[in-house]
Structure 1
Amino acid sequence: MRKFKINIVALLLATLVIVPSCDFGDTNIDPQNLAEVNLNLVLPSAIAQVGFNNGAIASRNPGIIMQYFEGTDAQQLGYTSYLMPDITFNNLWRTGFYGGAMKDLDLIIKQAPDQNAPYYSGIAKVLMANSLGLATSFFGDIPYSNAFQGEDGVLSPAYDDQETIMNTVFALLAEARTDLATDGGDIVPTSDDLIFGGDNDAWLATAWALEARYRLMMSAKGATNYTAALTAVGNAFTSNDDNAYLVFDASANGANPLNQFHRDRSNTMVLTGYFMGQMSGDPRLALIREPGSTAGFAPTTFWGKQDAPTVIINYAELKFIEAEALRMTGGSDAAVLAAVKDGIAANMNDMGVSAEDRDNYLLGITGSDLAAIIGEKYKALYPQNIAWDDYRRTGFPAITPNVDGNQGLNPHNGIPRRFIYPNSEKNLNTDNVNAAIENQNSDLMDQALWVFQ
């Protein structure tokens, strides 16, 4: 893992200087005429926003649903009861995705060929695939194919259905691998690449890693996705040294988003009894729960300290993908169990668990069925949003819905299956968001998305 510590606030503010903008609430793009820009100025702000997206509400709210966290006050208390109204994700949609990272990434993708900068294009396509995969896993149908068209384009873009979006994710990753396998062109990223410092081979491996993740997410659509996931794993990371992490700055303004949340909204969200029960006897709990606290998760814990990373994808996740894909394609119990243990060990090594504690824990790991795989993955991938995808695919871990769950947005009162569209879209792109709702049969949280059906 490369460590390029960043000041997230400075970089995100810099975006306003680098790429002047107007209101992106209706998912249009910057109405400038796409005059040539310095790619080395746009790339770091795009990477910073992707990292912040992954570690902020896009991690916390799925974490609440999957019972890593529970609210004790303010909005988080409502979220714990599945009361996540249409204002909840306005900022993520408008300034996180469409007016933030994806706008910048689209600009790089469009300008890189004219500047003979295939590495920039490849990195942007990897991160665009990641952003689209995350957004569609939350909402289902989303705009892409006729979004980002500029002043003379469509300012209220239609939505692509989820199948189209997933095909786009795989197409972007394939194109990225082609771009990243070139000789580099006229300009190449260096320190402006905040994750890998311009290492195109590392980005190539990341493209394969994300291919594995999204093939697994497609598993309900056919067993060939398991085979494709195994192929992708074989071309991706080989150790924790390859992890795609964005490391934040050890300062108040540049801190990891989980740390910032705790600082600004202290005591509105804590670890759940369920999660801490699952972690009972696990040496990682001491690195996840704040020392001296019964259920705190920051500010000195491994994932909650100021300079903690946010995760794009890591080696531990790949080993759990391998374990599940082997399980579902007839792999031996021994091979599945070995992959599970490798995933646990990768996570423990990453977090700094001692070799003795790690090995003692691994001695007790004997299960290789799907429930055991997903159960260990749930613990290892805290506090990411991947657990929600896994639950919607497999039903594991077998968490119990909140008995006091709000039924207005989640009528079946089970574990929510999606987020509802932001009200900024409903106000500014009304016809198209309504068409997407009709296509998906509902805008309620209990509506299963196509990819998980």
Structure 2
Amino acid sequence: MKKYRLNIVALLIATILIVPSCDFGDTNVDPESLAEVDLNLVLPSAIAQVGFNNMGIATRNPGIVMQYFEGTDAQQLQYTSYTMPDNTFNNLWRTGLYGGAMKDLDLIIGQAEEQNAPYYAGIAKVLMAESLGLATKFFGDVPYSNAFQGEEGVLSPTYDAQDAIFTTIDNLLAGAITDLQTDGGDILPSSDDLVFGGDEDAWLATAYALQARYSLLRSAKGSSFYTAALTALDNAFTSNAGNAEVTFDASANGANPFHQFHRDRSNTMILADFFLSQMSGDPRLAMIRESGTSAGFAPNTYWGRQESPSVIINYAELKFIEAEALRQTGGTDAEVRAALEAGIRANMDQLGVSTEDQDLYLLTVNGSSLETIINEKYKALYPQNIAWDDYRRTGFPSITPNADNNEGLNPGGGIPQRFIYPNSEKNLNTENVNAAISNQGSDLMNETLWVFQ
């Protein structure tokens, strides 16, 4: 599958042309001016922002919670003690999600339907589902139904309950699957699609893959969600060639945000002792840690390169979903073990581990219990935020909360269960965010979200 690199210069030009209207900021741009923008200018901006979202603070802070990382200075040191106050996610919420990728994606969906461009609509629905999923698994109830309407609509959008958000995610992915199986219409994406170059079949497989992810995420709600995940996997991609990733440019300005963090703030965060202990003797450690140090962001590491990918969803995750779903629905030990080993090998193949080293490592993986599956998934999906989802669902891996806990934000001192709503919302959308807080019980980090109850 051909991958397309993010060209930051072109995107900056596009961004100048399509500065989004933001319902959550201090200034709103006339939404009518956005309606005149060509889809091929909006799509790369949206994809780039999704990539930045997934590999920025949405990787680092859950990574601190799940002890991939620990802070040594500045904000990262505070975050390690769960001091993540209500200004922590302002940028992710305002310019990353609601005033960034999601605003652009909503525009694409509306325009594509008007202009007979179903492939654009399908791609945008896939990415909207992923972005909405990120928002809800971080915060819980979030705006969607009457968001993105600009000055002529609702400037203070209400919050949809989390169960309704998951229904929306289902509907978006179902709509994408329909769009991506119809005739391409009058306008076709090509190089403006920075993930698959306009390949509708690849996006279709990605839509099914995300169906599997968001079905598994609801496993606490009943075994039917495991079955739904397995059904979706039947139509998802079947190798690393189908990985949905945003690949960044090998330049200083267009670099992966993980690399940029190391370059600009390398002394503030390192790999955590717990993660390093789990990776002891693992051949992948040499690919994700700078030799002789605890740094996981250096340019010579797989995820720390300028051009390293930002993952939307990959094949390794799909095989771990399959292993868990089979384990929980009566699959045989051989079937579960085969899926588990395939997930480990997919990750090792991506990182460049030799087949010989893969074989030796698999000899050290005992059985195929749920704990083994989740522990191996934790290692394979570093540095993504999926591990936090799995911990909140299953209690694995077994990590010990940081003893230096901020109990004012996280009463009880356990592993945080959610993040606190941004203060930009509390200042600009006070009534509705307060209603969401009341619906969920509190705005503290120990509040268990609906999906994990």
Provide TM-score, normalisation by structure 1.
Answer: 0.97
Secondary structure at the aligned position of 2:304 is classed as coil
Equivalence map 1:124-273=2 (5 Å):
124-273=124-273
Paired position in structure 1 for 2:303: 303
Secondary structure at the aligned position of 1:110 is classed as helix
Contact 2:289 2:295 in 1 (8 A): yes
Q: Would the alpha carbon gap of residues 186 and 29 (structure 1) be closer, same or farther in structure 2, given more than 3 Å must change? A: farther
Equivalent residue letter for 2:73: D
Q: Would the alpha carbon gap of residues 209 and 27 (structure 1) be closer, same or farther in structure 2, given more than 3 Å must change? A: farther
Q: Would the alpha carbon gap of residues 114 and 412 (structure 1) be closer, same or farther in structure 2, given more than 3 Å must change? A: same
Secondary structure at the aligned position of 1:83 is classed as coil
Contact 1:105 1:127 in 2 (8 A): yes
Paired position in structure 2 for 1:59: 59
Structure 1 residue 412, shift from structure 2 partner: 1.1
Equivalence map 1:408-423=2 (5 Å):
408-423=408-423
Residues 1:377 and 2:377 are matched in the alignment: yes
Quick one: distance in 2 between partners of 1:387 and 1:349? 20
Equivalence map 1:80-91=2 (5 Å):
80-91=80-91
Q: Would the alpha carbon gap of residues 431 and 26 (structure 1) be closer, same or farther in structure 2, given more than 3 Å must change? A: farther
Contact 1:298 1:304 in 2 (8 A): yes
Structure 1 residue 113, shift from structure 2 partner: 1.3
Equivalent residue letter for 2:442: S
Equivalent residue letter for 2:309: P
Structure 1 residue 138, shift from structure 2 partner: 0.1
Paired position in structure 2 for 1:32: 31
Paired position in structure 1 for 2:72: 72
Quick one: distance in 1 between partners of 2:224 and 2:26? 34
Equivalent residue letter for 1:14: I
Secondary structure at the aligned position of 2:266 is classed as coil
Quick one: distance in 1 between partners of 2:279 and 2:436? 40
Quick one: distance in 2 between partners of 1:23 and 1:4? 28
Contact 1:221 1:451 in 2 (8 A): yes
Structure 1 residue 29, shift from structure 2 partner: 7.2
Secondary structure at the aligned position of 1:70 is classed as strand
Select between 297-306 and 391-400 the one with higher mean Cα deviation.
297-306
Residues 1:444 and 2:425 are matched in the alignment: no
Secondary structure at the aligned position of 1:270 is classed as strand
Contact 1:27 1:98 in 2 (8 A): no
Equivalent residue letter for 1:181: Q
Quick one: distance in 1 between partners of 2:147 and 2:296? 41
Secondary structure at the aligned position of 1:310 is classed as strand
Contact 1:259 1:299 in 2 (8 A): yes
Quick one: distance in 1 between partners of 2:27 and 2:188? 29
Q: Would the alpha carbon gap of residues 79 and 203 (structure 1) be closer, same or farther in structure 2, given more than 3 Å must change? A: same
Paired position in structure 1 for 2:13: 14
Paired position in structure 1 for 2:329: 329
Quick one: distance in 2 between partners of 1:30 and 1:178? 32
Quick one: distance in 1 between partners of 2:3 and 2:26? 33
- Deviation string 1:20-59 (CA, Å, 9 cap, x unpaired) is 4455425997532253320000000000000110000000
Residues 1:349 and 2:345 are matched in the alignment: no
Structure 1 residue 149, shift from structure 2 partner: 1.5
Quick one: distance in 2 between partners of 1:398 and 1:292? 27
Select between 150-159 and 389-398 the one with higher mean Cα deviation.
150-159
Quick one: distance in 2 between partners of 1:221 and 1:175? 23
Equivalence map 1:100-119=2 (5 Å):
100-119=100-119
Equivalent residue letter for 1:32: P
Paired position in structure 2 for 1:317: 317
Paired position in structure 2 for 1:292: 292
Secondary structure at the aligned position of 1:113 is classed as helix
- Deviation string 1:385-443 (CA, Å, 9 cap, x unpaired) is 00000000000001000011111100110000000000000000000000000000000
Quick one: distance in 1 between partners of 2:352 and 2:69? 23
- Deviation string 1:332-360 (CA, Å, 9 cap, x unpaired) is 11111110000000000011111111111
Quick one: distance in 2 between partners of 1:173 and 1:234? 15
Structure 1 residue 297, shift from structure 2 partner: 3.1
Contact 1:30 1:103 in 2 (8 A): no
Structure 1 residue 9, shift from structure 2 partner: 6.5
Equivalent residue letter for 1:314: N
Equivalent residue letter for 1:208: Y
Select between 2-11 and 354-363 the one with higher mean Cα deviation.
2-11
Paired position in structure 1 for 2:2: 2
Contact 1:21 1:30 in 2 (8 A): yes
- Deviation string 1:279-337 (CA, Å, 9 cap, x unpaired) is 01110000010123244432220011111001000000000000000010011111111
Residues 1:280 and 2:294 are matched in the alignment: no
Gaps of 5+ in 2: none
Q: Would the alpha carbon gap of residues 346 and 28 (structure 1) be closer, same or farther in structure 2, given more than 3 Å must change? A: farther
> Between the two proteins, what is the percent identity of the paired residues?
73
Contact 2:86 2:420 in 1 (8 A): yes
Gaps of 5+ in 1: none
Quick one: distance in 2 between partners of 1:404 and 1:29? 41
Q: Would the alpha carbon gap of residues 27 and 102 (structure 1) be closer, same or farther in structure 2, given more than 3 Å must change? A: farther
Quick one: distance in 2 between partners of 1:239 and 1:430? 46
Select between 293-302 and 223-232 the one with higher mean Cα deviation.
293-302
CA RMSD, Structure 1 to Structure 2 (Å) = 1.4
Quick one: distance in 2 between partners of 1:94 and 1:35? 21
Provide TM-score, normalisation by structure 2.
Answer: 0.97
Equivalent residue letter for 2:48: A
Quick one: distance in 2 between partners of 1:50 and 1:166? 19
Select between 237-246 and 148-157 the one with higher mean Cα deviation.
148-157
Equivalent residue letter for 1:199: D
Equivalent residue letter for 1:409: L
Quick one: distance in 2 between partners of 1:352 and 1:218? 33
